[in-house]
Amino acid sequence: MKKSIGVREIRRLYRDGEKITAATAYDAAMARLADEAGIDMLLVGDSLGMTMLGYKTTLPVTLRQSLHHTAAVVRGSKRAMVVGDMPFLTYQVSPERALLNAGRYLQEAGAAAVKLEGGERIAETIARLVNSGIPVLGHIGILPQSVLAEGGYRIHGRSDEEAASLLLDARAVEQAGAFAVVLEGLPRKLSARITETLTIPTIGIGAGPECSGQIQVMHDLLGLFKDFVPKHCKRYADLGQAARDAFQKYRNEVREGVFPGPEQTVE
Ligand code: KIV
C-alpha cells in the first residue's frame, strides 16, 4: 500500500503554516516527475481539455476521459495527493448523480479526492459527497466551466458586491465540508481576506501570495505552450523549445543517415 498524502497531511501543512504545493498532471510520466520533485497535490484538472486533448475550453471533457487520465496520474505517483476534477455536467444535475460520479474517482481511478467548481450554489452537493466519505476540494472565482455564461475569463471580486459574494461562497464551501478551496483569478487583497477568514486552506492560482498554497497548470510552468502565457504564470522551464529542438535534431539525423548509428544497431 503506497503512503501518499491525504486530507490529514494537507491539514497538517496548513496548521503548521507550511505552503501547500500543487500542480496539474494528466499522465503517469509527468505525474512521476512532479511527485519525485515533492509536489504535494496533483490535480487532474479538466484543463485536460486544452492541455492534452486540443479543445478550446474545458467543456467537452467527459467523465470517462477524466477518469482515464486520473487513473494514469495515480499510477505515476507515489506520494502526492491525487485529486480528480469533475467535468462539466457530472455534478450539476443533482447531488445524487454527483455522488455516484464522484465515487468513481475513488473506486475506479484511485484518486484521494475530487474537485467541484462553484460556491453557495453547489454547497449542498459538496455536503452530500463529504458526508458519504468523499474528500472535496472546492473552487471559486474564475470558473472555467461557466466560461460561456460569463462571456470569457476575467478577474472576479473587483467590486464590493462581487467580493462580498465570493466571501459567502468561500464560507459556504467551508461549511459544506470541503477540506480546501481553490481561489482562481481573484485580486490579492480579497484572497488574503478569504484566506484569513477561513479555517481550511486556500490554494491560489492567480490569487496572490497570501493563499495557503499555490497551484499551476503544468503546461504553463514547464513552458510547453508557446502562444498564451497567463499573467499569473511563471515559466520554470522551456520544455516546449527543448522538445522542438530534440525532434528537429532527430528528424535531421534520420534524413542524413546519422541515426541509427553503430551504438543503436545490432550486427
Ligand atoms: O482544471 C484545472 O487545471 C484547474 C486549475 C486551474 C485549478 O481547475
Q: DSSP string spanning 147-201?
A: HHHHTS------SHHHHHHHHHHHHHHHHHT-SEEEEES--HHHHHHHHHH-SS-
What's CA 176's distance to the chain center, in Å? Answer: 20
CA 112, distance to chain mean position in Å, is 13
**Cβ(59)–Cβ(49) under 8 Å?**
yes
- Which residue segments constitute the domains of the chain, with CATH numbers given? 7-236 (3.20.20.60), 239-267 (no CATH)
**pLDDT over 90 at 133, yes or no:** yes
Query: How far is it, in rounded angstroms, from Cα 5 to Cα 78?
Result: 9
- 160-196 residue pLDDT tens: 999 999 999 999 999 999 999 999 999 999 999 999 9
Q: What is the pLDDT of residue 149?
A: 86
Ligand 1 centroid – CA 92 distance (Å) = 17
CA distances from 38 to 23, 81, 124, 258, 262 (A): 11, 11, 34, 39, 39
Q: Which residue is closest in CA terms to ligand 1's atom 4?
A: 45
pLDDT given at position 101: 98
Q: What is the mean pLDDT of the chain?
A: 96
Instruction: Report residue 53 as a C-alpha cell.
Output: 486533448
Q: How confident is residue 156, by pLDDT bands cut at 50, 70 and 90?
A: confident
> Residue 1 — pLDDT band, cuts 50, 70, 90?
very low
pLDDT at 117: 97
Question: Residues 146-150: what's their mean pLDDT?
Answer: 87
Residue 251, pLDDT > 70, answer yes
For ligand 1, atom 3: residue with the closest CA: 45
pLDDT at 3: 67
Active centre residues (catalytic): 184
- Residue 2 confidence (pLDDT): 54
Q: Tens digit of pLDDT for each residue in 195-230?
A: 999 999 999 999 999 999 999 999 999 999 877 778
**What confidence score (pLDDT) does residue 261 get?**
97
What is the crossing angle of helices 123-131 and 95-107, to 10°? 50
Per DSSP bridges, beta strands 20-24 and 136-141 are unpaired
* Dist CA 256 CA 253 (whole Å): 5
Q: Is the CB of 220 under 6 A from ligand 1?
A: no
Residue nearest atom 6 in ligand 1 by C-alpha distance: 217
Q: How far apart are CA 170 and CA 173, in angstroms?
A: 5
pLDDT at 78: 97
Ligand 1 pocket check for 205: Cβ under 6 Å: yes
pLDDT digits (tens, 9 = 90+) for 5-50: 999 999 999 999 999 999 999 999 999 999 999 999 999 999 999 9
Atom of ligand 1 nearest to the CA of 115: 8
Query: Residue 236: its pLDDT value, please?
Result: 96
Average pLDDT in the 125-147 region? 96
| Better-predicted residue by pLDDT, 157 or 108 | 108
